[in-house]
């Protein structure tokens, strides 16, 4: 099983830094998800590892060997692009046998390997079909079988589920993970879908503008985002800006504009410092009476029904906007726009960050 | 297991495997690209551009002769005027025909679709003879109208001829564009209240503008280049290419070099100008002439347009192009066929000229295949970076822009100056240059249409660069390869302009036939008709092959 190590890898396209000083150690058999908005450098990263691009700086090591100058065909890395890139002129079997044949296996062995890989994805019955005769989900499985049959233990998946409909996507993400684990593959899976990353990844890498923002387990990235961008990109959050007015050994008080106060557990900021507060929307309650340490009065200005929950947006008395994701109430208790409410959250659920020089809005924007 | 992968153990496969292995070597790969770039620049591009400069001194003497200068000026002006008028008329007549082929279905349209290719595939010499006999011959349209010669050889016949052979260039290019055109834009315009004509004028035309400019340029350059057929219908009229042909026959090198250099220079200048200014051309999309455009959009107006399009095509293109069959069949019935088959008399020369034509064409096609592929890859995959790729792309188009007769003159001067390169090989190089665009351009487009990620996946699966090329690129572009190669072959077989300029002893079939047609007293109508019929039949076999390849490609 391969181990991948990237050391201060940078890649530029003209004046654009696609990847900048990227560092990561990926362990054998690990399932890594690279998460980031469009244009963040996710695809560039996997293409660098696949050998389709050469880094301008830094080193890429596979199993301890520097592979910067090793061409793609010699890296033994299986790469599955977004649209699968199935060879339309070849049958399913020939597509899957392409890898073993290219790596010098004889026809019989290549056919047998291909057939076994097709069995694994339960498509051995369609070996003679052409890719155009298959559904999107089947094409995805053929592409996966082709990667598996290549014999590589390092699988690079570039948005492997994005071309599928929502239902199939959910089904296949579980299958993908279990197959990778049962075969002992090391997988680097690129996605912009945070839910997908949460479900399949052992660890998540969050990228933004070519720079690594955070690496960690899904739990860690979600619960303890390193910065405001990660907090906003992974999950749905509220952001408030204020000044630390009091600080003791167990808690601190942050004053928002309009004189509203929020108690937080983070005590590393000094009194007088400007800070940004992050509260997850699902940790925010909106009720008629205060439910937590922090209770800020406001008025409902929008309600969106999401099926299993409601998303309520309230304007606080100081003009700040706060969102909450709450269970769907009974018909009698259903809130209305204009209702006066209390927005509450626990001090333990408040993340505190320094206010970025360019402002919170600019810091969290994904485009 | 249901199927087996094809066997690969023979010596040929071993050679391929070695080439695969070699292609992984960056130096070898770069060497191949550098070699083909060298061939393109120093064998294809430089000789025609530099050759003419080697005889620059001859121009001085020529411009001392005011009569000759005036004749040359008139010929050059006529060339550009005819090319411009014909290309505009072709655009006006060809675009509705392309629209008709794409939008309407049915047997008649299918026949029209095939017939529209006829003037493109028939050797221009045959087309010239066909147009001459139709418009000017006693058995053509003149006999229907009861006059001796409806049109005598001269400028009007040249215009009709050029209209006929440029027409399919426009139709074919625009059919391809319209097939790929996303109808959704026009639908959006219609749902926003635009009548069909307005939607076409304000949405479709601006979107198709680059293709319209390309089509215009191709028709324009084709008209400028044409020599053989023009010589048949020109009579005493002279345009640039006929002037060069006459000057060469009279041994007047100075006038020949003068006119060739002006034709080449102005053609390249026009190409650059249109390429630069074309994208800035604006169609009048802001104003809508409501009443008039609604009137043009009615069913009746559409029917009138369709009928007129078909009538123009039938009278000016299809019938004059196919008229050559009549004198040809006469030759089949009066005993000329036996003489032809037994290769007696003039027929021995004919068959040998045909062999020369095909030998030259096959070698030019082979050279195109060998050197065109790497150039097409360099363009399609932008391996030289965006700017250099754009330059290379433009350079590849230049051979088709330069009038072939001028190109032939320049090439002859260049190769003669370098040494005694045999006439046959100068001819092969001339034909390779003339046909270079016909292979490299469509192949670049075909390779561009194959997603690059297919190659990338192939490589990550262990395939070497050459292996990826032969197992992925070639199978996915094989129909384009085949049709481009056949196009090169037919263009080369039909070529007259450059051939006239290059050869002294050798004779190709079109050159021989021009001589036969221009001297009817010595050769007679039947051998001319039959000789042309053979050439046409061979061209039709090519057309058939292209059609079969295209259908299988679908």
pLDDT score of A24 more than 80? yes
Question: What pLDDT does residue B179 have?
Answer: 82
Task: Classify the phi-psi angles of B65: left when phi > 0, otherwise alpha if psi is within -120 to 50, otherwise beta.
Answer: beta
Over residues A86-110, the pLDDT tens digits come to 998 899 999 999 988 888 888 899 9
SS3 state at B41: helix
Nearest 5 degrees, angle CA B166-CA B519-CA B70? 60
pLDDT score of B473 more than 90? yes
Question: What pLDDT does residue B163 have?
Answer: 95
Over residues B368-404, the pLDDT tens digits come to 999 999 999 999 999 998 889 988 988 888 888 788 8
The nearest CA of chain B is from the CA of A133 a distance in Å of 15
Helix intervals (H) in chain A? 42-50, 92-102, 107-120, 136-149, 166-183, 194-200, 218-223, 228-233, 360-364
Domains of chain B: 27-56+326-554 (1.10.3720.10), 65-323 (1.10.3720.10)
Question: What pLDDT does residue B304 have?
Answer: 92
Chain B touched by A113 (CB under 8 Å): no
Alpha-carbon distance A145 to A122, whole Å? 10
pLDDT score of A1 more than 60? no
Question: What pLDDT does residue B397 have?
Answer: 84
Region B106-125 average pLDDT: 81
Alpha-carbon distance A166 to A169, whole Å? 5
Domain ranges of chain A: 4-229, 236-364
The three-state (H, E, C) secondary structure of A308-352, written as one string: CEEEEEEEECCCCEEEEEEECCCCCCCCCCCCEEEEEECHHHEEE
Domain pair A4-229 / A236-364, same fold: no
Choose the weakest-confidence range: A156-165, B194-203, B485-494: B194-203
Cβ–Cβ under 8 Å, residues A217 and A60: no
Over residues A190-199, the pLDDT tens digits come to 998 999 999 9
Does the beta-carbon distance from A77 to B460 stay under 8 Å? yes
Chain B touched by A118 (CB under 8 Å): no
A236-364 maps to which CATH number? 2.40.50.100
Does the beta-carbon distance from A112 to B4 stay under 8 Å? no
| Residue A101: alpha-carbon gap to chain centroid | 35
How many A×B Cβ pairs under 8 Å?
A: 94
What per-residue string of b and e applies to B219-233 under the rule 16 or more CB within 10 Å gives b? bbbbbbbbbbbbbbb
Find chain B residues with C-beta within 8 A of A129's C-beta.
none
CA terminus-to-terminus distance, chain B: 30
Q: Which of A63, A44, A57, A27 minimizes the C-alpha distance to A190?
A: A44
Of B6, B454, B463, which is closest to A85 when you measure between CB atoms? B454
Question: What pLDDT does residue A316 have?
Answer: 95
Cβ–Cβ under 8 Å, residues B532 and B513: yes
The nearest CA of chain A is from the CA of B342 a distance in Å of 48
Mean pLDDT of chain B: 85
Give the CA distances from residue B314 to residues A145, B90, B93, B164, B318, in Å, rounded to whole numbers and listed in that order: 56, 14, 12, 10, 5
SS3 state at A218: helix
Element (H, E) at B418: helix B404-418
Tokens of residue B248, six digits: 């060469």
For residue B385, give the chain A residue with the closest CA: A14
Mean pLDDT of chain A: 91
Q: Which of B493, B478, B476, B473 minimizes the C-alpha distance to B543?
A: B493
pLDDT score of B1 more than 50? no
Tokens of residue B96, six digits: 């509705």
Question: What pLDDT does residue B288 have?
Answer: 67
Cβ–Cβ under 8 Å, residues A146 and B461: yes
Q: Which of A331, A358, A345 minimizes the C-alpha distance to A290?
A: A345
pLDDT score of B2 more than 50? no
Does the beta-carbon distance from B464 to A73 stay under 8 Å? yes
Does the beta-carbon distance from A102 to B5 stay under 8 Å? no
Question: What pLDDT does residue B200 have?
Answer: 83
> Tell me, what DSSP letter sits at residue A117?
H
Alpha-carbon distance B43 to B461, whole Å? 38
The fold of A4-229 is Rossmann fold (3.40.50)
pLDDT score of A123 more than 60? yes
Interacting residues of B365 by C-beta distance below 8 A, sequence separation 6+: B435, B439, B485, B488, B489, B492
What per-residue string of b and e applies to A315-340 under the rule 16 or more CB within 10 Å gives b? ebeeebebbbbbeeeeeeeebeeebe
For residue A155, give the chain B residue with the closest CA: B460
Question: What pLDDT does residue B7 have?
Answer: 46
């Amino acid at each position: 099983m391969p181990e991948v190590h990237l050391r201060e890898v940078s890649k530029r396209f003209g004046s654009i830094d696609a990847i900048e000083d990227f560092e990561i150690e990926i362990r054998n058999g690990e399932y890594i998800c690279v998460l980031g908005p469009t244009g963040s450098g996710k695809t560039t990263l996997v293409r660098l590892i696949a050998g389709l691009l050469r880094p301008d700086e830094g080193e890429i090591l596979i199993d301890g060997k520097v592979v910067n100058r090793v061409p793609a065909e010699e890296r033994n890395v299986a790469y599955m692009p977004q649209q699968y890139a199935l060879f339309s002129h070849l049958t399913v079997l020939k597509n899957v046998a392409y890898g073993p044949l290219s790596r010098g296996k004889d026809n019989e062995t290549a056919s047998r390997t291909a057939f076994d890989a097709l069995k694994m994805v339960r498509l051995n019955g369609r070996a003679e079909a052409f890719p155009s005769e298959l559904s999107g989900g089947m094409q995805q499985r053929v592409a996966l079988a082709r990667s598996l049959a290549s014999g590589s233990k390092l699988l690079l998946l570039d948005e492997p589920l994005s071309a599928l409909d929502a239902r199939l996507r959910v089904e296949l993400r579980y299958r993908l993970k279990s197959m990778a684990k049962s075969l002992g593959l090391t997988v680097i899976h690129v996605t912009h879908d945070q839910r997908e990353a949460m479900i399949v990844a052992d660890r998540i890498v969050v990228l933004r503008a070519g720079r690594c923002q955070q690496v960690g387990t899904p739990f860690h990235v979600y619960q303890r985002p390193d910065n405001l961008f990660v907090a906003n990109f992974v999950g749905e959050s509220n952001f408030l800006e204020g000044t630390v007015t009091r600080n003791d050994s167990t808690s601190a008080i942050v004053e928002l504009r309009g004189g509203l106060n929020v108690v937080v557990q983070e005590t590393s900021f000094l009194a007088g410092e400007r800070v940004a507060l992050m509260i997850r929307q699902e940790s925010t309650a909106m009720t008629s009476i205060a439910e937590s340490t922090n209770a800020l009065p406001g008025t409902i200005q929008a309600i969106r029904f999401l099926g299993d929950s409601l998303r309520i947006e309230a304007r606080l008395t100081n003009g700040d906007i706060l969102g909450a994701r709450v269970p769907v109430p009974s018909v009698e208790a259903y809130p209305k726009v204009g209702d006066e409410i209390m927005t509450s959250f626990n001090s333990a659920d408040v993340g505190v960050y320094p206010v970025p020089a360019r402002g919170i809005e600019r810091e969290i924007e994904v485009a | 297991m249901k199927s087996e992968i094809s066997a690969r153990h023979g010596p040929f496969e071993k050679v391929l495997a070695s080439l695969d292995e070699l292609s992984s070597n960056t130096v070898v790969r770069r060497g191949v690209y550098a070699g083909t770039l060298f061939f393109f620049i120093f064998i294809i591009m430089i000789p025609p551009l530099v050759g003419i400069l080697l005889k620059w001194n001859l121009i001085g003497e020529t411009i001392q002769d005011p009569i000759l200068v005036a004749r040359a000026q008139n010929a050059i002006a006529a060339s550009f005027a005819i090319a411009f008028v014909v290309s505009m008329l072709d655009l006006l007549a060809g675009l509705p025909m392309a629209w008709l082929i794409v939008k309407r279905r049915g047997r008649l349209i299918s026949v029209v679709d095939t017939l529209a290719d006829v003037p493109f595939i028939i050797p221009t010499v045959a087309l010239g003879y066909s147009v001459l006999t139709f418009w000017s011959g006693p058995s053509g349209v003149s006999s229907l109208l009861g006059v001796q010669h409806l049109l005598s050889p001269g400028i009007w016949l040249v215009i009709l001829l050029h209209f006929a052979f440029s027409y399919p260039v426009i139709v074919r290019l625009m059919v391809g564009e319209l097939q790929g055109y996303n109808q959704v834009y026009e639908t959006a315009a219609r749902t926003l209240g635009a009548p069909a004509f307005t939607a076409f004028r304000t949405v479709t035309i601006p979107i198709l503008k680059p293709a319209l400019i390309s089509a215009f340029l191709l028709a324009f350059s084709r008209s400028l280049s044409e020599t053989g057929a023009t010589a048949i219908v020109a009579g005493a009229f002279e345009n640039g290419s006929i002037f060069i042909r006459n000057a060469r026959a009279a041994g007047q090198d100075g006038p020949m070099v003068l006119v060739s250099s002006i034709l080449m220079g102005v053609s390249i200048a026009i190409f650059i100008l249109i390429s630069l200014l074309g994208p800035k051309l604006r169609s009048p999309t802001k104003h809508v002439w409501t009443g008039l455009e609604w009137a043009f959009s009615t069913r009746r107006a559409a029917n009138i347009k369709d009928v007129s399009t078909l009538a123009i095509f039938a009278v000016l293109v299809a019938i004059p192009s196919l008229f050559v069959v009549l004198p040809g069949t006469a030759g089949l019935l009066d005993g000329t066929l036996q003489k032809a088959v037994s290769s007696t008399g003039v027929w021995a020369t004919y068959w040998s000229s045909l062999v020369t034509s095909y030998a030259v064409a096959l070698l030019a096609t082979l050279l195109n295949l060998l050197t065109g592929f790497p150039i097409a890859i360099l363009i399609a995959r932008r391996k030289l970076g965006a700017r250099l790729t754009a330059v290379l792309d433009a350079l590849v188009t230049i051979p088709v822009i330069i009038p072939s007769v001028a190109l032939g003159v320049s090439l002859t001067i260049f190769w003669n100056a370098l040494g005694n390169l045999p006439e046959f090989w100068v001819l092969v190089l001339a034909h390779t240059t003339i046909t270079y665009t016909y292979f490299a351009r469509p192949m670049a487009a075909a390779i561009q249409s194959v997603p690059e990620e297919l190659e990338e996946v192939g490589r990550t699966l262990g395939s070497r660069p050459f292996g990826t090329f032969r197992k992925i690129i070639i199978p996915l572009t094989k129909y384009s390869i085949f049709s481009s190669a056949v196009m090169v072959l037919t263009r080369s077989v039909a070529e007259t302009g450059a051939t006239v300029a290059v050869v002294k002893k050798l004779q190709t079939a079109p050159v021989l036939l021009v001589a036969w047609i221009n001297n009817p007293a010595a050769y007679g109508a039947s051998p001319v008709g039959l000789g042309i019929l053979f050439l046409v039949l061979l061209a039709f076999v090519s057309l058939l092959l292209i059609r079969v390849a295209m259908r299988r490609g679908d």
